[in-house]
Amino acid sequence: MATDYDAPRKTEEEQSEDSIEELKARRHEKNSGKVDEDEVEAAESFELPGADLSHEELAVQVVPKQLDEFTCSSCFLVHHRSQLAEEKGTQLICRDCAY
């Protein structure tokens, strides 16, 4: 009879242990996955808006002339080459100033 009692107990313990460990493993996977996603999302949302905007503004101010841009000799604004209306030597006139 003793073995009869022992046998089911062991299997119950083993089953419960297995299920607990499975739950632990699942929880761990879920938690670690959630934390990773949150961290990635937080990092992205933190970096993208502020840093990128300031970088773009800085880039425009520090590097006024791009290869396809010119500085108007009249209004001294940087325009795209498509806005170039007149070119007199080194003087470049944008369409706004040409008319």
Residue type, 29: E
Residue 58: CB minimum distance to Zn ion, A: 24
CB-based contacts of 81: which residues, under 8 Å, 6+ apart? Answer: 68, 69, 70
Residue 77: CB minimum distance to Zn ion, A: 6
* Residue closer to Zn ion, measured from CB, 40 or 98: 98
Q: Give me the residues that bind Zn ion (CB under 5 A), please.
A: 72, 74-75, 94, 97
* Residue closer to Zn ion, measured from CB, 5 or 99: 99
* Residue closer to Zn ion, measured from CB, 54 or 66: 66
* Residue closer to Zn ion, measured from CB, 19 or 71: 71
The two structure tokens encoding residue 72: 């108007």
Instruction: Quote the CA–CA distance of 23 and 21 in Å, as a whole number.
Output: 5
E strands, the chain, are 69-71, 78-80, 84-88, 91-94
Residue 63: CB minimum distance to Zn ion, A: 19
Residue 69: CB minimum distance to Zn ion, A: 12
Instruction: Quote the CA–CA distance of 49 and 98 in Å, as a whole number.
Output: 38
Measured at CB, which residue is nearest to Zn ion? 72
Largest CA distance in the chain: 111
